[in-house]
Amino acid sequence: MLTYRIPARCGFALVLRRGQLLRVIDPEGEQVADVVTFSESDPRERLSNGRSFDYGGRIYFTTGHTLYSDRSNPMLTIVSDTVGRHDFLLTPCSREMFRIQYGVTGKQPNCLDNLAKAIARRGVDPALIPTPFNAFMNVDVLPDGGLDIRPPRSKAGDSITLRAEMELLVAVSAWAAGRCNNYRFKPVDIEVTDG
């Protein structure tokens, strides 16, 4: 078993063999972890929220549901989930997002840079980063289509476990924008087992 603690507002990448299990753990509670995946054999094949919405007929995913690539291949299946609410709509916080939404300029830790750095080290073009699966992020869709970002439902020790359905490059970032984490930045733990 591989275990790794991703420090607050940092990122990490790893390769999963088909059938391996990735457990993403929220050790302190109310912390989002965004997850992006790429096919190891051709990283232009990436996680796709739209394909997953299509085949799942839903926007919220939990145990038993599958996340698809933009080429319609299963990438990850959720095999256990102690929280039951995750987001697949919103994009990683980024320098541009902090500027546009909060008027913050200059460099500060953000998920897009974390994911970009983590995959660039493995030779994958950061321009390919898709909309992540945001584990533990709690976004309500209101009847008029408005989005309401609420504190995560995860408590200390909660986790979601995903099985790799192909050989994958996976990058995970400990979400670095305040509102989604109830205004406290915490680490994220990951565990990889052979399933």
Which position among 17, 18, 44, 150 is part of the footprint of its own copies (CB under 8 A)? 44
**Residue list 89-118, contact with its own copies (CB under 8 A):** 89-91, 94, 96-97, 100-101
User: Cβ of residue 164: shortest distance to its own copies, in angstroms?
Assistant: 19
By CB under 8 A, tell whether 57 contacts its own copies: yes
**CA-closest candidate to residue 161, choices 61, 20, 26, 24:** 24
Which position among 20, 31, 37, 49 is part of the footprint of its own copies (CB under 8 A)? 49
By CB under 8 A, tell whether 18 contacts its own copies: no
By CB under 8 A, tell whether 191 contacts its own copies: no
User: In the complex with its own copies, which residue's Cβ is closer, 14 or 97?
Assistant: 97
Q: What angle do CA 70, 180, 36 make, to 5 degrees?
A: 25
Q: Is the dihedral angle over the CA atoms 121, 123, 126, 129 positive or is it negative? A: negative
Q: At what angle do helices 95-102 and 111-120 cross, to 10 degrees?
A: 170
CA distance 23 to 13: 14
3-state secondary structure of 69: strand
User: In the complex with its own copies, which residue's Cβ is closer, 15 or 141?
Assistant: 141
User: Cβ of residue 27: shortest distance to its own copies, in angstroms?
Assistant: 27
Pick the stretch among 9-17, 19-27, 68-76, 155-163 that binds its own copies (CB under 8 A): 68-76
Q: Which amino acid is it at 37? A: T
The 8-class DSSP code of residue 157 comes to T
User: Cβ of residue 192: shortest distance to its own copies, in angstroms?
Assistant: 26
User: Cβ of residue 113: shortest distance to its own copies, in angstroms?
Assistant: 13
**CA-closest candidate to residue 74, choices 61, 86, 91:** 61
Mention every residue, 6+ apart, whose C-beta is less than 8 A from residue 143. Answer: none
**CA-closest candidate to residue 175, choices 191, 154, 192:** 154
User: Cβ of residue 15: shortest distance to its own copies, in angstroms?
Assistant: 21
Binding-site ranges for its own copies (CB under 8 A) = 44-45, 48-51, 53-55, 57-60, 70-72, 89-91, 94, 96-97, 100-101, 125, 127-129, 131, 141, 144-147
